[in-house]
Amino acid sequence: MNILEIRAVSKSYEKNLVLDNVSLSIPTQAIYGLLGPNGAGKTTLIRIINKIIMQDQGEVIFKGRRLERNDLFKLGYLPEERGLYSKMKVGEHLLYLAKLKGMKTYDAHKVVKSYLQEFEISDWFNKKIEQLSKGMQQKIQFIIAIMHNPDFVILDEPFSGFDPVNAELIKNKILDLRKNGVTFMLSTHRMESVEELCNYVTLINKSKQVIDGEKRKIKEQFSTSTYEIRGKIISPITSDGNSLFEVLENEWCEEEQNHKLKCKLNAGININDVINYLIKSMEIHSLREIVPSMNDIFISLVNNK
């Protein structure tokens, strides 16, 4: 079941088309990557989902029906830009926003205390926001996005400002919440985060949706059938009297260095054919397919548009 669907959404500012007939479906408990270069339209789409602005055409469906303003209590949002009141203390800030999200006073105190303990920042309760570093403020905003137990959370550059330890902490919390039924939309330029976390992705470029779907299938779509073979050359001459390197280079491979071959399969040849050919001349230690990264796919699609 899809928790959120964007159906043929378009948006213009005066004569500038920012989103052009964008449609996507986000399955429940997915971590959905929203990708695109600066100015592609990602922020506009996020604002439409949060009802900060309205689309010109199309509709947003939440849990099978048109998204209403009351549904925002079940959404969480971590914006890329800081949205905290610098003169407020951390504790009163969290309690204030928890109540705005519909939580009762007792429940708000309990949840805020629990999250501050979990993130090992209980001693920040009486510190002013302006006293906190960029990373500390980002951690507070992450708590704000999830503390009211939302069903769907939008994270816009959630790892900005974090050191590796805190980035790992946030990543593990995202995975933990997902196990418990929360769905995430992750907008980021950090492709390593997409590789680690996302199982679905959409790429928007110049207001248009370029590609959309399950990350695994997208990678398969862009596969070049290239393999890396490592091992020890037993004999540079094959059983038919040809040079191993010459045959491989002519047919399938290019030699990168001794004992490491890069092999691209041509039509009608599978990896078993290569192994059977090599086995008499090479002691094979490892074999892996060179799968394109999301970063490679991102650059390829953006540069081709």
- Is residue 250 over pLDDT 50? no
Do residues 152 and 267 both lie within one domain? no
Q: Which residues contact 176 (CB under 8 A, 6 or more apart)?
A: none
Alpha carbon separation from 47 to 11, 55, 171 (Å, rounded): 11, 9, 23
Residue 113: band (very low, low, confident or very high) from pLDDT cuts 50, 70, 90: very high
39 to 58, 208, 303: CA distances (angstroms): 21, 11, 15
The CATH number of residue 66's host domain is 3.40.50.300
Q: Is 267 within the bounds of a domain?
A: yes
Looking at the structure, tell me whether residues 272 and 211 fall in a common domain.
no
Closest CA to 98 of 87, 82, 114: 114
Whether 192 and 276 map to the same domain: the answer is: no
Q: Are residues 82 and 118 in the same domain?
A: yes
Q: Residue 133's pLDDT is what?
A: 87
Q: What is the pLDDT of residues 192-236, one digit of tens each?
A: 899 999 999 999 999 999 999 999 999 988 888 888 888 777 765
Name beta bridge partners: 34.
Answer: 187, 202
pLDDT digits (tens, 9 = 90+) for 16-30: 999 999 999 999 999
Q: Compare 171 and 270 and report the one with higher pLDDT.
A: 171
The per-residue pLDDT for range 255-270, each reduced to its tens digit, is: 554 567 777 777 667 7
Indicate the pLDDT class of residue 277, thresholds 50, 70 and 90. confident
Residue bearing tokens 């951390």: 90
The average confidence (pLDDT) of the chain is: 87
Do residue 207 and residue 90 come from a single domain? yes
**pLDDT over 80 (residue 280):** no
Residues 205 and 245 in one domain: no
At 4 the pLDDT is 97
Residues 49-63 pLDDT 10s = 999 999 999 999 999
For residue 196, the enclosing domain spans 2-220
| Residue 8 sits in the same domain as residue 113 | yes
| 112 belongs to a structural domain | yes
Q: What is the mean pLDDT of residues 76-81?
A: 90
Helices (H), the chain: 42-49, 90-100, 105-118, 134-146, 164-179, 191-197, 215-221, 244-251, 271-278, 294-303
C-alpha dihedral sign at 25, 215, 135, 28: positive
DSSP class per residue in 188-216: -S-HHHHHHH-SEEEEEETTEEEEEEEHH
Q: How many domains does the chain have?
A: 2
Give the containing element (helix H, strand E) for 229.
strand 226-233
pLDDT > 90: what percent of the chain?
55
Q: Quote the pLDDT of residue 260.
A: 73
Residue 252 domain-assigned? Answer: yes
Find how far residue 299's CA is from the centre of its chain: 15
User: Is a pLDDT exceeding 50 seen at residue 251?
Assistant: no
Does 229 lie in the same domain as 109? no
Cα four-point dihedral sign 273, 278, 280, 286: negative
User: What pLDDT sits at residue 288?
Assistant: 85
Round to whole Å and give the CA distance between 183 and 154: 9
Predicted local distance difference test score (pLDDT) of residue 240: 58
